[in-house]
Structures are given as structure tokens and as C-alpha cells.
């Protein structure tokens, strides 16, 4: 029989305690279950974190390796800019032997200290997560004159989220800037050169030309790039010559010479060209550079000078110098072949009056007319020259017979009178006095022949003009002209 439920306060401790203990144990079991569940979750989280940690460690060691081997400079400073760590590349930029413990500002040129300070402040004050590409000029190393141009990138160095310092990645831009400067100078020179420049690859395909090339040849850059320079050739005949050039060039490295080319408009022009091959360190040809200067103007000027020296600019007849040359040649040839020739010395009669009456311009026109008329009378082998303002000398190979001389003299005099020389319808009334000397009868050297012919001309003039005299070694007879 179950005894009536006793008052709990009177219940024996052992009985009450066993119930409490059981409840407490259940509570422990429940809590154990909960804790085991939490434990499982924590274990999983621990594994994840461990894996993350491992890859972080690996990543960190790769980064550390990169930093160590980097060509770029790595510095770690505290927030005040005091260097605490650096990589080996840092030694390249500064002469300071012990970088850790040095203030970064001491390495920078004074002009860039403000930029440095601003970049650091932006990071420290939290205005920026990173500051990239700040141009900082480092003071030169002891033995070098030039400062080092760098681009610096700043990253915050945090520990537990608190800014502890600054990571600096610094790239030395000096070699790059120097190369850029050289390129700038080169292109400046090319763009402003008076000489045309063509740059071609090893297959002689044109890679680039400068503005002067376009100016000289008439070809724009986009018309020639990718083509070989063969289109510039003036003649097919010069093809083999080009082939020689392109063959010789790789061997000798340079070729200079005069080449006849053709412009875009078909006009021929002569250039002085220097071809150079650009090679790499192993001697392999990388490209060809051709510098061409237009010789056309130079050659034109040369021709003009040559003409001025040997020809009378007014009548375009050969001058005294050519006369002397021809005369010497003629004497030499006549002597060798035992031939003869005649020398006519012609003085215009009454020409000074033309200048006085109508002016020098009119006189010049008249002289050109006279020269023209003489040229129509003489043969191809004859030489007509103007030796003085109104004096002409004509050399006639093979002529020595007095009668024939008379006929030629008459033709020359006639040439001036039929029709009469005139200006604006005014008869100028200009005639000619001729003196003639023949080789070898009247002289066997130039001076004698000239002197004798001149003397004969003077006599003709003294006797009234419009006649000719043939020099006589003994007696000076004269032959009236037939006019």
C-alpha cells in the first residue's frame, strides 16, 4: 500500500535528492548534446579557418618572395615615414647604406617633399585607401649626376585594422624617361630635318618616312608605307644598280651615292642618299635607314653657275673662255690634220648710238637679235662667240679660201641688214665690220690669229664699216663686201 504523499519538507533527503539528481543529470545530458552540436560547428569552422590561414600564409610567402626579388623598390615605413624594412632593389636608388632607420623624406629632392607629405597624409587621414603613381624624384646617388625619377604607390599597413605604417612600392622610371626623351629628340630631328628619311625593314618594306620625304618626293607617308622603295626608281635600267645596292648594304653596313629618282608627279630628281643598316648586338640587320637630300636645286645652281662662267647671259653665246678653248682645240686639230680654218672678228658699226638713242634695254634686244642672225648664217661646226659688248668672234673650221671667206663675210654683213635691225619700227642703222685671219697663213697660235683678225676689223671700221678685211702678212689688201 502506498503511503500518503508526505509533506515535501518531511520527505527523506535521500528520496528528494534522487529525484533532483536525476533531473540534474538529464539537464547535463541535454547540455552535452547542445555542446556537442556547437563543438561540431566549431570544428567545421576551425577547419575552414585553418585552410584559409594556410593559403594566407602561402600567399604571404609568395608576396614576400616577390617583394624580395622585385625590380621595383619596396619600403615599409611607420606613419611618420621612418623606414623599417626594404627589399634589395631599394639599394639601387639610394646611396644611404642603411635604409632602415632613415626618414624617407631625406631621400627625396626638396621640391617633391610636399607631394610626399600629401600622399602620406591622404592615407593616414583615411582620405584614400591607396595612393598610386605619385611622381617622386629621389636624390641622386653619390657618383651619379642625375636624380632618379620614380612613381610611388602607397598602401596602408594595418594590424588588427589599426594603421601601423605605410607600404611603398616604388618604380624607377628613369631609364624609361631617358628612352622617351631620346625618342622625342629623334622624332623632333626627323620631323624637322631638311633631308628625307626612309626607314625600312629587312625586306626593304617601308616602315616610316618623315615630312621632308613627302616634301621632296610628293608621296605622303600612307602612300609608301608597306611598299619597297622601288617605285622611286627613275629608270628600269637602274634596277640592277639597286640590286647591287641592296646586296652591298647588308655586308658593308652603309652606302652613299647619287641616285636618279622620280617624283610622284613623274618629274625626275637627283638625290644624294646615305643608306645605313641598323643592327642588333649580334650584327643581325633590323632595319634600313635611308637619308636622302634633293640634289636637283644644287645641280640646277651648278649648271647655272657653269653657264654663267662660260656663256654670255644676254645672247647665250659662248664667252671668251670657251672661245679660247675652242681655238686651242681647233689649232691642235688643224695642225695634226694639216687643215686650215678662219677666224672672223666682227665689230658692230654704230651700235653705241643705239644705246644712247634707245637705252640699254633696246641695245640688249638688238644684240640678241644680232647673235640670232649670225647663228642662222653659220654652219653647225662653226662657233659664234660674243667677246665684248659689240664684238663677236666666229671660228669656221675648214675655211681658208679668200673667195669663200668673202662669200661668208658678205652673208654675215647681209644678215644684219636684211631686214634692217629695228626697234619699234625705227631703223637702228647698225652694220658690221669684219676682220678675218686664217690658220696657218696668218698665224699658228691663238694670240696672233686674234690680233691679226682684230687689226683687220679695225681697218674695215676705219674705212667706213659694213665691209671686211682679210689680214695680209705683207700687204694689207681689202675686200669690199658685196652688199
Q: Mapping DSSP to helix (H, G, I), strand (E, B) and coil, where does residue 429 land? A: coil
Among 6, 27, 243, 267, binds another protein (CB under 8 A): 27
Least distance CB 47 / another protein (angstroms): 24
**Residue 11 or 473 having the CB closest to another protein:** 11
**Integer angstrom CA distances of residue 5 from 2, 17, 280:** 8, 16, 113
Helices and strands: H and E segment counts in the chain: 12, 18
- CA–CA–CA angle 317, 405, 462 (5° rounding): 80
Residue 101 to residue 472: CA distance in whole angstroms: 116
**N-terminal to C-terminal alpha carbon distance within the chain:** 193
Residue 370 to residue 421: CA distance in whole angstroms: 8
**What are the residue ranges of helices labelled H in 79-206?**
113-124, 174-192
Check residue 103 for interaction with another protein (CB under 8 A).
no
Least distance CB 128 / another protein (angstroms): 43
Among 6, 15, 23, 45, binds another protein (CB under 8 A): 23
Check residue 59 for interaction with another protein (CB under 8 A).
no
Pairing of strands 431-439, 468-470: parallel
Q: Which stretch binds another protein (CB under 8 A): 26-34, 66-74, 222-230, 375-383?
A: 26-34
Among 6, 15, 35, 100, binds another protein (CB under 8 A): 35
Among 6, 15, 31, 244, binds another protein (CB under 8 A): 31
The 10 Å Cβ neighbour count of residue 330 is 21
Check residue 15 for interaction with another protein (CB under 8 A).
no
**Residue 23 or 43 having the CB closest to another protein:** 23
Check residue 21 for interaction with another protein (CB under 8 A).
yes
Contact at 8 Å (CB) between 80 and 164?
Answer: no
Check residue 39 for interaction with another protein (CB under 8 A).
no
Check residue 181 for interaction with another protein (CB under 8 A).
no
**Residue 7 or 282 having the CB closest to another protein:** 7
Least distance CB 44 / another protein (angstroms): 20
**Integer angstrom CA distances of residue 209 from 181, 195, 197, 269:** 20, 11, 6, 18
Q: Burial, 161: exposed, middle or buried (Cβ in 10 Å; 0-12, 13-18, 19+)?
A: exposed
Output Rg (C-alpha) for the chain, integer angstroms.
53
Residue 302 to residue 305: CA distance in whole angstroms: 5
Contact at 8 Å (CB) between 90 and 74?
Answer: yes
> For another protein, how many residues bind (rule: CB under 8 A)?
13
In the region spanning residues 260 to 299, those forming contacts with another protein, defined by CB under 8 A, are: none
Least distance CB 13 / another protein (angstroms): 6
**Residue 24 or 352 having the CB closest to another protein:** 24
Pseudo-torsion of CA 306, 308, 311, 314, nearest 10°?
A: 150
Q: Which stretch binds another protein (CB under 8 A): 24-32, 60-68, 113-121, 338-346?
A: 24-32
**Residue 34 or 187 having the CB closest to another protein:** 34
**Residue 13 or 145 having the CB closest to another protein:** 13
Check residue 13 for interaction with another protein (CB under 8 A).
yes
**Residue 35 or 298 having the CB closest to another protein:** 35
Check residue 20 for interaction with another protein (CB under 8 A).
yes
**Residue 21 or 306 having the CB closest to another protein:** 21
Name the residue among 237, 206, 241, 240 with its Cα closest to residue 220: 206
Among 1, 3, 7, 24, binds another protein (CB under 8 A): 24
**Residue 24 or 68 having the CB closest to another protein:** 24
Check residue 33 for interaction with another protein (CB under 8 A).
no
The 10 Å Cβ neighbour count of residue 100 is 13
Q: Which stretch binds another protein (CB under 8 A): 28-36, 261-269, 282-290, 419-427?
A: 28-36
Helix (H) or strand (E) holding 293: strand 285-294
Binding site for another protein (CB under 8 A): 13, 16-17, 20-21, 23-28, 31, 35
Amino acid at each position: 500500500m502506498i503511503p500518503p504523499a508526505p509533506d515535501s519538507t518531511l520527505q527523506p533527503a535521500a528520496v528528494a535528492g534522487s529525484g533532483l539528481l536525476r533531473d540534474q543529470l538529464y539537464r547535463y545530458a541535454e547540455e552535452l548534446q547542445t555542446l556537442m552540436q556547437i563543438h561540431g560547428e566549431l570544428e567545421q569552422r576551425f577547419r575552414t579557418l585553418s585552410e584559409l590561414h594556410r593559403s594566407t600564409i602561402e600567399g604571404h610567402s609568395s608576396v614576400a618572395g616577390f617583394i624580395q626579388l622585385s625590380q621595383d623598390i619596396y619600403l615599409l615605413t611607420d606613419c611618420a615615414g621612418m623606414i623599417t624594412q626594404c627589399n634589395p632593389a631599394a639599394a639601387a636608388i639610394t646611396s644611404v647604406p642603411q635604409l632602415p632607420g632613415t626618414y624617407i623624406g631625406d631621400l627625396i629632392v626638396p621640391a617633391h617633399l610636399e607631394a610626399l607629405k600629401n600622399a602620406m597624409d591622404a592615407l593616414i587621414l583615411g582620405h584614400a585607401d591607396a595612393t598610386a603613381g605619385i611622381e617622386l624624384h629621389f636624390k641622386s646617388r653619390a657618383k651619379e649626376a642625375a636624380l632618379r625619377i620614380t612613381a610611388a604607390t602607397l598602401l596602408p599597413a594595418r594590424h588588427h585594422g589599426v594603421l601601423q605604417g605605410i607600404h611603398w612600392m616604388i618604380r624607377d622610371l628613369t631609364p624609361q624617361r631617358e628612352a622617351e626623351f631620346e625618342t622625342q629628340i629623334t622624332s623632333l630631328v626627323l620631323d624637322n630635318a631638311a633631308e628625307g628619311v626612309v626607314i625600312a625593314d629587312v625586306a626593304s618594306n617601308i616602315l616610316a618616312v618623315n615630312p621632308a620625304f613627302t616634301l621632296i618626293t610628293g608621296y605622303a607617308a600612307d602612300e609608301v608605307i608597306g611598299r619597297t622603295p622601288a617605285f622611286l626608281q627613275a629608270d628600269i635600267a637602274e634596277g640592277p644598280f639597286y640590286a647591287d645596292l641592296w646586296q652591298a648594304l647588308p655586308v658593308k653596313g652603309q652606302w652613299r651615292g647619287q641616285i636618279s629618282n622620280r617624283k610622284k608627279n613623274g618629274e625626275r630628281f637627283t638625290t644624294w642618299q646615305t643608306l645605313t643598316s641598323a643592327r642588333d648586338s649580334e650584327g643581325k640587320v633590323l632595319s634600313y635607314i635611308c637619308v636622302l637630300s634633293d640634289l636637283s636645286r644644287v645641280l640646277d645652281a651648278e649648271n647655272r653657275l657653269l653657264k654663267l662662267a662660260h656663256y654670255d647671259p644676254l645672247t647665250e653665246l659662248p664667252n671668251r673662255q670657251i672661245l679660247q678653248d675652242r681655238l686651242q682645240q681647233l689649232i691642235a686639230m688643224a695642225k695634226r690634220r694639216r687643215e686650215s680654218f678662219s677666224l672672223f672678228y666682227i665689230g658692230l658699226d654704230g651700235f653705241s648710238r643705239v644705246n644712247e638713242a634707245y637705252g640699254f634695254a633696246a641695245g640688249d634686244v638688238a644684240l640678241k637679235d644680232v647673235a640670232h642672225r649670225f647663228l642662222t648664217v653659220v654652219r653647225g661646226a662653226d662657233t659664234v662667240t660674243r667677246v665684248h659688248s659689240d664684238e663677236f668672234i666666229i671660228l669656221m673650221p675648214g675655211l681658208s679660201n679668200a673667195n669663200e671667206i668673202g662669200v661668208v663675210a658678205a652673208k654675215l654683213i647681209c644678215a644684219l641688214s636684211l631686214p634692217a635691225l629695228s626697234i619699234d619700227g625705227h631703223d637702228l642703222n647698225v652694220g658690221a665690220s669684219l676682220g678675218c685671219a686664217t690658220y696657218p697663213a696668218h698665224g699658228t697660235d691663238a694670240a696672233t690669229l686674234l690680233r691679226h683678225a682684230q687689226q683687220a676689223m679695225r681697218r674695215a671700221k676705219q674705212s667706213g664699216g659694213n665691209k671686211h678685211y682679210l689680214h695680209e702678212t705683207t700687204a694689207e689688201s681689202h675686200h669690199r663686201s658685196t652688199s
